[in-house]
Amino acid sequence: MTRIMALDIGSVRIGVAVTDPLGLFAQGIGVIRMGTDWISQLSVLVDKYHPEIILIGLPIRTTGEKGPEADHVMEIRNDLEAAFPLIAFQLVDERFTTAIAEKVLIEADVPRKERRKKIDQLAASLILQHYLDSRRGEGGVP
């Protein structure tokens, strides 16, 4: 079964999620700190999970406009396409995923310090699960 990976790219961290082996559910698998070797850290996960598609959360404003954050993510997409030429990359709307992730963690009574460690990974999982759910709704199979 084809695995799909999702990235929630921030200025400090990248949350990473991947589908289960059957391609039905998203599961968070880690957080990569932005820095000089972040692509090599991602490469380790790509080698482990072999995704055919990597979704990249695109931060679109509530007005529907793209701001400087979206431009930054699109630049990173170019870097990723150069680093992983055999993988398809797809930008997906990630509006509200971080806010939803934070709300879930607060409701789960996760302490603030722990929330910072988990929020990006959970946001990536939400991006991926939404994508999977929307494909099922279209009659598609993940």
Place of tokens 């991006």: 127
**DSSP result, 20-31:** -TTSS-EEEEEE
Q: What is the pLDDT of residue 142?
A: 43
CATH assignment of 3-137?
Answer: 3.30.420.140
| Residues near 140 by beta carbon (within 8 Å), at least 6 away in sequence | none
Per-domain boundaries in the chain: 3-137
Both tokens of 60, joined, read 């679109």
pTM: 0.85
Q: Average pLDDT per run of 10 along the chain, which is 142 residues long?
A: 89 92 90 90 96 92 78 92 96 77 75 76 89 73 46
